[in-house]
Chain A
Amino acid sequence: MTWGPAIGVVIAATTGHLVLAGLSPAPVAWALRVVRAALALLIGISLHSLWHFVWVAGIAGRGLDAGFLLYDLALPITASVVVIAIRRRATRTRGAASRSETPDIRVAPRRRANLLLATSILACGIAVAFAANLAAVQPDGGWDAWAIWNFKARWLFRGGSSWSEILTNPIFTTSHPDYPLLLPLSVSRLWTMAGGVPLGVPQAFGVGAAAVAATLLVGATRTLCGPVSAAVAGAGLLVLPPFLAASATQLADVPLACCYLATLVALAVGAHGAPGRWFALAGLSAGAAMWTKNEGVLFFVCAIACQIATAPLSGAGWREARRRIGEFVAGASPFVIATFVLRSMALPNDLLAGQSLAMSWGRFATPARHAEILGYGVTLLRTQPDTLGVIGLAGYLVLRGARPDLRAGLLALSTLVLTACGYYVIYVVTPNELSWHLDTSADRLAVQLWPSLVFTALLLTRDEQSS
Chain B
Amino acid sequence: MESRLSLRERAARGLAILLVAWATSRIVVAMGLMLSGFAAVATDPATALLVERYSTLSEHVPGTGVTVGFVAPAEPMPGRQMLARYALAPLLLAEGDSHQLVLVDLDDDAALATFVAKAGAKVLAHPRPGLAILERPRGTP
Contacts and interface: CB of A to CB of B under 8 A. Distances in A.
A165 to B, nearest CB: 7
B15 A154 contact: no
Interface in B32-86: 34-35, 41, 43, 47-48, 51, 64-65, 67, 79, 82-83, 85-86
Interface residues of A, number: 57
B122 interface: no
A238 interface: yes
A140 B47 contact: yes
Nearest to A128: B27
Contact of A133 (B12, B20, B35): B35
B86 to A, nearest CB: 4
A396 B23 CA distance: 14
B128 interface: no
Given A116-B16, A120-B20, A130 B86 contact: no
Contact of B12 (A130, A174, A400): A400
B31 A399 contact: no
Interface string A207-250: 00000000000000000000011011011101100000000000
Interface in A114-159: 116, 119-120, 122-123, 126-127, 129-130, 133-134, 137-140, 143, 146-147, 150-151, 154-155, 158-159
Contacts of B4: 467
Looking at chain B's contact residues, the main secondary structure is: helix
A175 to B, nearest CB: 7
A159 B28 contact: no
A155 B89 contact: yes
A175 B92 CA distance: 13
A393 B20 CA distance: 10
Given A235-B19, A388-B22, A389-B26, 16 more contacts: A113-B13, A120-B24, A126-B24, A138-B41, A147-B79, A154-B86, A154-B90, A165-B90, A171-B67, A171-B92, A235-B24, A236-B23, A238-B23, A396-B16, A464-B9, A467-B2
